[in-house]
Amino acid sequence: MDIGELKATVIREIDARYQQLGELSRKIHDNPEVAFKEKKAAAWLAGYLEESGFSVERGICGLPTAFRGEYGKGKPVIAILAEYDALPKLGHACGHNLIATSAVAAGVASRLAVDELGGSVLVIGTPAEELYGGKVIMAARGAFDNMDMAMIVHPGGGNRAIMSTLACQTLDVEFIGRAAHAAAQPEEGINALEAMIQSYNAINSLRQHIRDKARIHGIITDGGEAANIVPAHTAAHFIVRAEYDSYLDELKEKVINCFESAAKATGAELKYRWGERYAAMLNNVTMARLFRKNMQSLGRRIPLGDTTLWGGSTDVGNVSQLVPTIQPLVAVSSKQVWIHTPQFARAAASEDGLRRLLDAARAMAMTVIDLLASPETVARVQAEFRSGRQAKS
């Protein structure tokens, strides 16, 4: 079979499964499960892969709702990543039901390419993208070792084959002061709220002198107990983001200096803990071009995009530092409708949204064909990955 015929075959395979895939997407959308609680979604997705001939391992990396589906044995190994967690209160307002459906659709259709061309295709179920960075944990536990390339698509308000995201790390901070009557013995108190506010203001000042693309933002989660008690305890949660990992390290130090100086000024004790670290997205442009060409052959216009950053961060970034990765953005709503809103949750349940993400699934399976059929292309993908890592380190 030549490449063109094989691509036509994978397109037809997804057409034939349209009803089933639509049902799967709706079921996940109607049963939103937040980070690490995606029991139903993980079971439905893993089951669907198994019924379609994949060998499936559930609960990988010590995470009950993570899974690994595998079809074929040889190299190269191409992974398609699925996300299926919802947001608290908003449900599937990030459209992860569509990410999951497109991933299994692309995986199942890619079987035909593996039968014809060799290599293997994986569908990796990655929980908790939204709240904990499931892929950060999975990357540390080796889930993405021994694979050659990875792909995932994300629904959004626009189309872009390249989606650049920021490196980021969360920070939990506490100040411990000393309680006293705020009017009778204020001199006996150590004010943990003053320490927090001084830190907050110091960060505001710092923000004037950081690089354009960097971000520091936070909330105070504990501001004291009562107005007549000198606050003995305060807490805050911050996120620090930067375009490059090296600059993130530099910023982290500056942010901690803001807190430490406030601790010194007020006499409050500072405690802090850095949380999960999301790496910046390292896009593989060679793969993105293939995906774009395949989307366009299906009549979907999609610009390549550029290194203009989307202000957010994703744990796909951590995968992209280990293997050549793409995460194209596929429009399911107008530009005015942003992810993480109730309007976007509705778009993620729409028939039009499903059609668009299934076209993205077709384009991923067609990209699998391009890669399995051409060792030269794989070599180009790998060479770009190696040079990109050097450039950003």
Sheet containing 269-278: order of strands: 215-222, 233-242, 167-176, 269-278
At its nearest, how many Å lie between Zn ion and the CB of residue 176? 34
Provide, rounded to whole angstroms, the least separation between the CB of residue 134 and Zn ion. 12
371 sits near Zn ion (criterion: CB under 5 A):
no
Site membership for Zn ion, residue 98 (CB under 5 A): no
Considering the complex, what minimum distance in angstroms separates the CB of residue 310 from Zn ion?
11
Rounded-to-integer distance, Cα 109 and Cα 88, Å: 32
Interatomic CA distance for residues 315 and 132, integer angstroms: 9
Does residue 81 interact with Zn ion by CB under 5 A? no
Q: Is 94 in the site for Zn ion (CB under 5 A)?
A: yes
Nearer to Zn ion, 49 or 345 (CB): 345
Sign of the alpha-carbon dihedral angle for 218, 222, 226, 231 = negative
Question: Among residues 127 and 189, whose Cβ is nearest to Zn ion?
Answer: 127
User: What single-letter DSSP state applies at residue 210?
Assistant: S
Q: Which helix (H) or strand (E) holds 247?
A: helix 245-266
Residue 170 or residue 261: which is nearer to Zn ion going by CB?
Answer: 170
Q: Which is nearer to Zn ion, 94 or 280 (CB)?
A: 94
Q: By C-beta, is 94 or 196 nearer to Zn ion?
A: 94
The least CB distance from residue 339 to Zn ion, in Å, is 6
Phi and psi based region of residue 62 (left: phi greater than 0; alpha: psi -120 to 50; beta: remaining)? left
- Residue 381 in the binding site for Zn ion (CB under 5 A): no
β-bridge partners, 272: 173
Residue nearest to Zn ion (CB): 94
Residues that bind Zn ion (rule: CB under 5 A) add up to a total of 1
Region near Zn ion per CB under 5 A, out of 25-33, 89-97, 158-166, 364-372: 89-97
Least distance in angstroms from the C-beta of 99 to Zn ion: 7
By CB under 5 A, residue 162 contacts Zn ion: no
DSSP E strands in 182-268: the ranges are 215-222, 233-242
CB of 28 to Zn ion, least distance (A): 13
Q: What is the DSSP string of 338-393?
A: -SSSHHHHHHTTSHHHHHHHHHHHHHHHHHHHHHHH-HHHHHHHHHHHHHHHHHH-
CA distance 83 to 70: 17
| CA-based torsion, 4, 100, 155, 318: positive or negative | negative
Minimum Å distance from CB 357 to Zn ion? 13
**To the nearest whole angstrom, how small is the minimum distance from the Cβ of residue 340 to Zn ion?**
6
The span of 36-44, 94-102, 109-117, 193-201 binding Zn ion (CB under 5 A) equals: 94-102
Q: Does 173 contact Zn ion by CB under 5 A?
A: no
Please identify, using beta-carbon distances, which residue of 135 and 300 lies nearer to Zn ion.
135
Using the structure block, give the residue that is written with the tokens 């076209």.
359
Q: Shortest gap between Cβ of 156 and Zn ion (angstroms)?
A: 9
Window of 87-95, 250-258, 274-282, 347-355 that interacts with Zn ion by CB under 5 A: 87-95
Our finding on whether 364 is near Zn ion (CB under 5 A) is: no
Closest listed residue to residue 365, CA positions, set 3, 86, 11, 44: 11
Please identify which residue in the block is written with the tokens 């960075």: 133
Enumerate binding residues for Zn ion (CB under 5 A): 94
